[in-house]
Amino acid sequence: MSTAEIQYLTLLRAALWNRPASIDEPVDWSAVMQLACHHSTNVLVGSAAIRMEGSNKPSPEMISQMQMDMRGNLIQQLQLKQLLVAAIRLLRQNGIEPVLLKGFGLAMLYPYPNLRQFGDLDIYIGLDKFHEACALLRTLPGGYNWGEATDLGHHYNIEFGSIPMEVHRVSAEVEDDKEAALYAAIECDSLVVYPQRVDFEGVEISIPSKEFVVFYTFFHAWHHFLTSGVGWRQLSDVTMALHAYHGQLDTDKLRRWLTEMHLMKPWQTFGYLWVKDLGLPETEMPFYDARCHRRAHRLRSIIMEEGNFKRKRSFKYNRPQGKLRQKIHAFGCVVIDSCHTAKVFPDVAFRELCTAMKLGIRKIFQKK
């Protein structure tokens, strides 16, 4: 790792564990904060940098910018909270119980929740009352949809000014049929049958079970890695969830989910970084295996380079005209992503390619 990368992780760890940061070498603050922005952690890192002492602390101008970022994040969070409370009350008045995914539910696990950055709201509704919920939420002041039909994708998008809301019919899309059935059972167990109830701004809200918070947060980060680039914010989320729920998790259930979904190897590889780079105690990392260090080092390099949603995707965005060309282009995107995945997980890359080919062949025969 470069000096800036090492210093960035030092500051991020300090923020996650609410400890003072100490850096002996001179700091290129421009490079460090550029990394922090790249990974959507500039507010967290800035909070640690502001508390530094000594000659290597940021300049007054840099500290002023960090404080502005913190204030801006706090204002955005207040706006999101108001929208979330209004949405929950509206849905409950009409007999619909939403479950909060990601975002605020994860922020509450941090030492200081208002330092965790996020820009949208994710609410799980399920299939039965999905269309009714979308219609209700569109009536909230300022809401307009992005033009997608409610029957497309695994969530429906509504935007309130600059605040996007994703209304989920399912919490995630899984392409492989067998894994999709397994995931649906996990989702039902955690979001419908056994959700948690927590106090939020004086309003009781539902969030997923503790095991699902950990599993789904990792699963979401894993999807980012496979398709668009994962950043240290997503890894920080899993780290904070494991720490907050240490001693409370049904690890047999978590092991079964990870094994059935073919995620144990990725889990242990990411887990090495949660422990070594983000400071999670080994005893709080279920199924920790230090033997995956070489694979984890390759993963770290990719994460550092790409960041949150920052994978170079020019080929993906340049979609050609014509259905046949679009199908070829879509498969080409899968090949590119699989080559990327193969740098760390060649077996997963091969499985992803096989799944894409199977789905493509099925679609061809279905149209015939």
pLDDT per residue over 192-206, tens digit each?
877 888 887 788 889
Q: What is the pLDDT of residue 162?
A: 79
Q: Could you list the residue range(s) of the whole structural domain that residue 265 is in?
A: 209-311
Q: What is the pLDDT of residue 235?
A: 97
Is residue 65 in some structural domain? no
Is residue 182 in some structural domain? no
pLDDT band (50, 70, 90) for residue 320: low
The pLDDT tens digits for 246-283 are 999 999 999 999 999 999 999 999 999 999 999 999 99
Q: Are strands 121-124 and 163-168 parallel, antiparallel or unpaired?
A: parallel
If one compares 124 and 149, the residue with the highest pLDDT of the two is 124
The residues near 62 (Cβ < 8 Å, ≥ 6 apart) are: 29, 33, 49
**Whether the predicted pLDDT of 317 surpasses 60:** no
Single-letter amino acid code for the residue at 325:
R
Counting the structural domains of the chain, the total is 4
Give the count of beta carbons closer than 10 Å to the beta carbon of residue 313: 15
pLDDT band (50, 70, 90) for residue 103: confident
207 near 213, Cβ under 8 Å? yes
11 near 277, Cβ under 8 Å? no
Q: Which two tokens stand for residue 52?
A: 């530094």
Whether the model pTM is above 0.75 = yes
Q: What is the pLDDT of residue 327?
A: 62
Specify whether 92 is located in the same domain as 200. Answer: yes
Q: What is the pLDDT of residue 368?
A: 47
pLDDT band (50, 70, 90) for residue 120: confident
CA 57 vs. chain centroid, Å, equals: 30
Specify whether 242 is located in the same domain as 277. Answer: yes
- The CATH number linked to 100 is 3.30.460.40
